[in-house]
Chain A
Amino acid sequence: MKRLLIILFLLSVNSYAVDTRQLSDPKQQESYEILTKELRCLVCQNQTIADSNAELAADLRRQVYEMLEQGKSREEIVQFMTDRYGDFVLYKPAFAGKTTLLWIAPVIFLLMGLITVFFFIRRKNASANSKAQAGSLQIDQDKQKKIRNLLEKGDAS
């Protein structure tokens, strides 16, 4: 029973929209699977056309299938889609033009964070050091005063 459940669980990981299309050429079939996972369903926006059961997703899958059958390359199909729906249709937008910022933004933010942390730690260290120095001096002077007082008073009792 347990084993069966585990098997069922593992099977459920690969759940896609019902799609019985099968291309005769295994290479084309592979392209089909890759492409449908790279193209966004524009109605549901956070699903690929392989995941989605929306009608538009089904139409786009049909389009991909037919173009592969006609012998179109993956690049040609991606071009076909971006010509019609813009870069947004791609889950992995090309590194060019408007999308450059999108690609380099994470690096910029990481650098900004690292620089901030660097200066923060350096300042903290510097202030901690100076405080420690000032503190130790202060304590010493206090202690010295106390010692001197005690010495001056002598043993009163």
Chain B
Amino acid sequence: MPAPTPTPDRTSDAAMSRRSFLRGCAAFGGLTALAASLAPLRELGDFSSSEEFLQKYYKELTPEDMKKVLARIEREVQHQYGIRPHVRDLRPMDGVEFVYALNLTRCIGCRKCVHACVAENNQSRNPEIQYIRVLKMPHGSMDVEKGDHNYTDKSVPEKGFFYMPVQCQQCKNPPCVKVCPVNATWQEKDGITVIDYDWCIGCRYCEAACPYFARRFNFTKPEIPADRLNPNMAYLGNRPRKQGVMEKCHFCIQRTRAGKYPACLEVCPVGARKFGNILDPNSEVSYILREKRVFIQLKEEMGTSPRFFYYFDK
């Protein structure tokens, strides 16, 4: 560049030229604009740690890796909620395939299952995330379009209606698994379709693919009061989720893979919910599918082949 020739400018003797002053103003404006546009990131509180960011895919984790991952999750939960949880990685049991059966004759629509599920599985309380919806349906129809899950009756059941709780149907042919672009959700050999919350990218394809509206998305950071946190956790189950990941019913993996019944079943005041191992001929569900007169799979025509059966007593 040729050396600048001194120009007979009125500001040439000033400390700052007009041009550099204007540049400074523009730079200041630009930087503050950038800062303002990034300001929403401040609300994002839980950035993933480098440890979590570099974590391998669930199925590639060695037992030692898994130990470290579980320790990290315990540390993070304790940091956030002040409670030391017990996080386990429970694997499917041999010779077990879970099936759920729900007696539509018995269900009174009290919604206790909905809230027991929220309490057991550490779902967000605000905004509310619930895995179970109880549909109030008029007698004589199985059309879910006629169902209402916002009913506000003072007492249930109401005459002329029946109640149908809907949750993840744990399909044998799950459409949600097929659409996941990163394999963050898959079907395990005991029939439970699980989600790796650390692998989910939050694209919500699975939510769109599910014909039962069983999957829920964490639009914001989940809010759980520390005194209602369930410290008995499983990696693929009820450990606290973060913003931007999917979640859904997993048949209470932290309970059922340890031999216990799911929380929604235990709280049901009328015994409408039945759960067990379909490969065991002496289990309740085997008896029900063998002996009871009618059972339906919801939206059977979709070809999803749910492991969740609805049946009637009479």
Do A and B truly interact? no
Q: Which residues of B pack against A, CB within 8 Å?
A: none
Q: Which residues of A pack against B, CB within 8 Å?
A: none
